Structure 1
Amino acid sequence: MQIKNLPREFEIARPIVQNIEEAGFEAYFVGGSVRDTVLGLDIHDVDIASSAYPAEIKKIFKHTVDTGIEHGTVMVLDHGNGYEITTFRTESGYQDYRRPDKVTFVRSLAEDLKRRDFTINALAMKENGEIIDLFDGLTDLKNNLIKAVGNPEERFHEDALRMMRAVRFASKLDFMVEVNTLNAIKNHSELLEKIAVERIHTEFVKMMLGKNPLKGIKDMLNTNLCNYIPGFKNHLSEFKSVLNINNLYLENESQVWTLICYQFGLNTKQIKSFLKAWKTSNQIIGNVTTMVCALRAIQTKSLDNMLMYHTGRTLLNSTVQLALILGMSIDANEIISEYDSLTVKSRDEIKINGSRLMSLGLVKPGPIIGKLLNAIELNIVNKALMNNEDSIIEFTKKFLKE
């Protein structure tokens, strides 16, 4: 097979491959960019594998960076772009089920490709677009199959994260995991405990944001992978209930965790603990606690001005989308319209702040200022107080008397 019209990302990288070949070595485009090009999908990073050793690559190119030289990777800088060139290699050991104990540089493309995870990721492409397919990956792409290269038991022992990658690709591409590969995942699912949660987190979120996340969820349940990720073992029935959602399509990580925490019935304290176990960012934790609160209010029809105000338009819009996905009977446009009609959208829009009130001699520094500002904010958001200086001053005088 030969790709006639190469994506621009490959076209501008072709001189790199050509320079390596002119120096007497082999070089190929490899990995997900080749797979996605065959599938007609957009590509991002372009990776290159070569028979040249790192020192030899550094002799060929003037501008290089040792990004992972111990594993054979050198970045070549060219016209503002960076290309990672990795030497063909074999790996052995894997005592921790994560990293090879030994990496050996080789000159053989076949030896390099056979250590890769799945046949659809073991494709190589010459700079002219000719595909090198040593493990029938093109057939598996045509048949929509995720299939391990060689013995799946060995592949998952080498890196147990590959089990999560399998279900992630099933979701991302809307493919099926081949039966022997799926059985191997089930046989070795407990090895996932050996993997850093940050790596699992990345694959799980990508799976939930895929074209068909229900496939990934179903595979995770059927292979028992859910038993070995933080916080899921005691909520398997709730996670399984996600399979009842029609047309599940999520747009961002905050929606992913909001859906999970909502389905699991977690309160604010439990949400924070759960997401910290997943090593999520503080920003995501804040977003999710806010969105779950708003989602429950939408579900119980108790969404008020103050909750919309604290949620903000962006998170509220994501929450409304999630409510629709969950089949809640709501008027999404009405909710967003109600938010848009709020007098203020943040405390910065309130016409008087604490400093101004003190400068007017209405209040002295102390805890009372916080209580006063909260009361002003609440009344303006609930449209019980006009957002102008005179009205706020009058409200302040009455508040302090009471």
Structure 2
Amino acid sequence: MKNYSADEQLQAATHILTTLIEHGYQALIAGGYVRDLVMQQGEKSDIDIATDATPATITGLFSQTIAVGEQFGVIVVIQNGIPFEVATFRSDVGIKDGRHPVNVVFTDAQTDAQRRDFTLNGMFYNPFTQQIIDYVDGRSDISHGLIRAIGDPPSRFREDYLRPLRAIRFAARFSFTIEDNTWQALRDAASGVDSISPERVFSEVDKMLRQPNPHLSVKLLYESGLLAHILPEVESLWGIEQPPQFHPEGDVFAHTLKALSLMPPKPSSTLAWAVLLHDIGKPPTMSVSDRIRFNNHHHVGAQMSHKVLKRLRAPNVLIEQVSTMVENHMNFMNVTKMRLSTLKKFLSRPTITEELELHRVDCLSSHGDLSNYFFIKEKLSDFEVQQIKPPALLSGKDLIELGLKPGPLFGEILGELYDMQLEEQLFSKQQALEIVREKWG
């Protein structure tokens, strides 16, 4: 999908607003875009439009529309190739399933604002007059750094049990405090997250991990009781002591939070989830002998990571990549002792760049020794792509032409030859053929 600039999006949205206004309807920009405008955020959220035009009217006014939630007053209007949610001002009636109202009543902007989640998201904006329309004191709460539910906090959370997660995401992203009544209602509603689809939970946590202050999100999830419901494997890291000579930062939970805080801005989902889950194998593998040990925690953690992400219905490619990264994160301690062929195989894996970043934050959040990190960086700089993973000099077809019969021996021969090639002991197909004739001919 094409990425459109902020100016292109605003221009297309303005066309929709103009069309609605010219036909006698009220139309305003709503939600996150207005919040980001008030907060002077450089990167703004997608533009949503709110209007007193009915869904049927909206569909009739625009040539390209999609009725994604017509019963709730939401129509997607495609303008200049860009999709915009255009929602009719409404009031929600009743609570159906912890996400949808029983019914909606079309109304005006002031009433519509009262059914939204938090005050910082409840404002409207008129781009023609550059007026912020604020019926919920959103600007005041923003100036005081507060996340406050609109109206009655318990009611707001019962309407959609994803809202506690959203409150935490916004609080962490902006380093805001959750207002006391909202926080208490959020904690009381924590078990309601069990009724939310895994896909929605994954999406919300994924946003938390990739935005600023991911460590604050996870800390608030723990303190609210939500973490025990959505990621009990991470919650169980709390209080798991570690050997202080390697982990002066504290227990495994403290280590994980610190690692999350050290990730680069806007990390990929793969890196973010790998950092979060890289040590979840420690609680079940903890033992005390000469010191606290977590033998094979990377193997156990890889299996657990696979199950966690499968439970959350994460994309399959993400599940495999994160599990691989967790499995391999302890191998970095051995890189200086690896044979050249082993090292090249290690560096040729598709997740190596993100694994190296995981290793960096893992070290900086514990003992601080980055010698292996810089060793790998130097090797990656020295090796050309062709050197790290060159095409094999021989194939099974070549072995057949030499008169060898296909079988398990083929794999051994080709593997040994490829290792020699990676060790820079073999440089041509002719050399490889001569070795095969001498050793296996």
TM-score by length of 2: 0.81
**Deviation, structure 1 residue 347:** 5.7
Residue 273 of structure 1 is matched in structure 2 by 307
Residue number in structure 2 paired with 1:3: none
What's the CA shift string for 1:77-120, capped at 9, x where partnerless? 3333332211112223324222222233x131122111111111
Count of matched residue positions in the alignment of Structure 1 and Structure 2:
393
| 1:189 aligned partner | 190
> d(CA) in 2 for partners of 1:313 and 1:160?
40
Alpha-carbon distance, 1:161 to partner: 0.6
Equivalent position amino acid for 1:268 in 2: A
* Matching residue of 2:358: 322
Distance 2:336 2:226 in 1: 37
| Equivalent in 431, 436, 441 of residue 391 of structure 1 | 431
| 1:286 correspondence with 2:300 | no
Assess, with a 3 A threshold, how the Cα gap between structure 1 residues 244 and 80 changes in structure 2: closer, same or farther: closer
Corresponding position: 1:243 with 2:293: no
**Shift in Å, 1:152:** 1.2
Q: Within 5 A, what are the aligned runs for 1:43-58? A: 43-58=44-59
Q: Distance in 2 between matches of 1:394 and 1:200?
A: 59
- 5 Å-filtered alignment, 1:76-95, equals 76-95=77-96
Asked if structure 2 preserves the Cα contact closer than 8 Å seen for 1:239 and 1:263, the reply is: no
How far apart are 1:125 and its partner, in Å?
Answer: 0.7
Contact (CA 8 Å) 1:123, 1:132: kept in 2 or not?
yes
Match of 1:127 in 2: 127
SS at match of 2:418: helix
Contact 1:120 1:146 in 2 (8 A): yes
Q: CA RMSD in A?
A: 2.6
- When structure 1 is superposed on structure 2, of 301-310 and 132-141 the one drifting more is 301-310
Whether the 8 Å contact between 2:210 and 2:272 is mirrored in structure 1 is yes
State the partner residue of 2:285.
none
Is residue 231–residue 274 contact of structure 1 (8 Å, CA) maintained in 2?
no
Identity %: 27
Residue of structure 2 in register with 1:261 after alignment: 277
Partner of 2:288: none
Letter of the aligned partner of 1:371 in structure 2?
A: E
Q: Which ranges in structure 1 are unaligned for 5 or more consecutive residues?
A: 1-5
Contact in 2 for aligned 1:140/1:147 (Cα 8 Å): yes
Structure 2: state its 5+ residue gaps. 1-5, 240-251, 282-299
Deviation at 1:15, TM superposition (A): 2.1
Are residue 349 (structure 1) and residue 391 (structure 2) matched?
yes
Deviations 1:10-40 (A, max 9, x none): 2342121111011111111111112112222
Q: 1:394 Cα shift? A: 3.3
Looking at structure 2, the residues matched to 281 and 246 of structure 1 have their Cα atoms a distance apart, in angstroms, of 21
Matches within 5 A, 1:52-67: 52-67=53-68
Deviations 1:324-363 (A, max 9, x none): 22314123343122235457567662233333433x3353
Aligned mates of 2:47, 2:195 — CA distance in 1? 30
CA distance in 1, matches of 2:64, 2:259: 51
SS in structure 1 opposite 2:189? helix
Matched, 1:363 2:379: no
